[in-house]
Amino acid sequence: MSSVPSRITVPKFVAMKAAGRKITVLTAYDYPTARLVDAAGVEAILVGDSLAMVVQGHASTLRATLDEMIYHAEMVGRAAEHALVIVDMPFPSFLVGKYKAIENAARVLKETSCQAVKLEGGVDQVEVIEALVSAGIPVMAHVGLRPQSVHRQGGYRVQRDREQLLADAQAADRAGAFSIVLECIPADIAREITAAVSIPTIGIGAGADCDGQVLVLHDLLGLTAGHRPRHAKAYADLGTTITDAVARYRDEVREGVFPSEEQSFR
Ligand code: KIV
């Protein structure tokens, strides 16, 4: 009998809310890390446009392009056997009219083996969410801190406008989104939103009462260069592990210890 858990589909993901089962989501951007993340048993992998920052080294997510998202999503989609794979729609690929948004989101589903898209927006993106959903494209919405609106929001700040946050989440729910990311909002507002919507809320910096949580893989692994946000717990220090391993290799080459007989051919 196979020990591989069955594939998480959008309906199974949604059903976890009613079942009271917490949902774990983590980002990944390439084949080897997506395989490890998938094997660890998370319910969903997000190919986030955070790749512009943590993989490409840019100062914001605004630099990610649709072609780049598809390039990374194709690798992640091929690696995942269990997790639902959701791909971020980069700025401004869904802000260019609903027909162009369908065309762009459809490219993600046609050119990768991923199953859903995510877009930043609530009330303001109702028309686009409805259009994508009626085209058969599952949509995860994203409200609260919206990294693609960093300039309008004046930086990466906790969002506290309760009425706006609630309206955004409820609008996304009504428009047919299957889930909503709540980023950097007070825990009590996230709790209220989670109770008020029918679909799973996935928090990042939104407290413990969301239906699930998402983290950026590089933050979790201790690979983030520079500032790691307060909400992003590091479960490992792979940055130090990698630097130490490379330094040992450098030393062994310099000292003539590597390669030894064991790594040599006769
Ligand atoms: O791009 C991303 O990684 C995200 C998560 C922070 C939710 O949007």
User: Which tens digits make up the pLDDT trace of 126-177?
Assistant: 999 999 999 999 999 999 999 999 999 999 999 999 999 999 999 999 999 9
Residue with CA at minimum distance from ligand 1 atom 4: 48
Cα separation, 179 vs 185, whole angstroms: 16
Is 49 near ligand 1, meaning CB less than 6 Å away? yes
Does 183 qualify as catalytic in the annotation? yes
Find the catalytic residue in 183, 192, 261, 262: 183
Fold of 10-235: TIM Barrel (3.20.20)
SS3 of the chain: helix, strand, coil, percent, to 5:
45, 15, 40
What is the number of the ligand 1 atom nearest to the C-alpha of 118? 8
Residue with CA at minimum distance from ligand 1 atom 3: 48
Q: How crowded is the C-beta side of 264, counted as CA atoms within 13 Å? A: 7
pLDDT at 2: 47
Query: How many other CB atoms sit within 10 Å of the CB of residue 6?
Result: 9
* Rounded mean pLDDT, 31-39: 98
Give the tens place of pLDDT for each residue, 87-132.
Answer: 999 999 999 999 999 999 999 999 999 999 999 999 999 999 999 9
* In the chain, where the domains are located: 10-235, 238-266
Judged against a pLDDT cut of 50, whether residue 25 lies above it is answered with yes
Determine if the pTM surpasses 0.95: yes
- What are the tokens at 152? 């309008």
Cα separation, 266 vs 248, whole angstroms: 26
Q: How crowded is the C-beta side of 176, counted as CA atoms within 13 Å? A: 16
Residue with CA at minimum distance from ligand 1 atom 1: 48
pLDDT at 3: 55
Give the tens place of pLDDT for each residue, 177-226.
Answer: 999 999 999 999 999 999 999 999 999 999 999 999 999 999 999 999 88
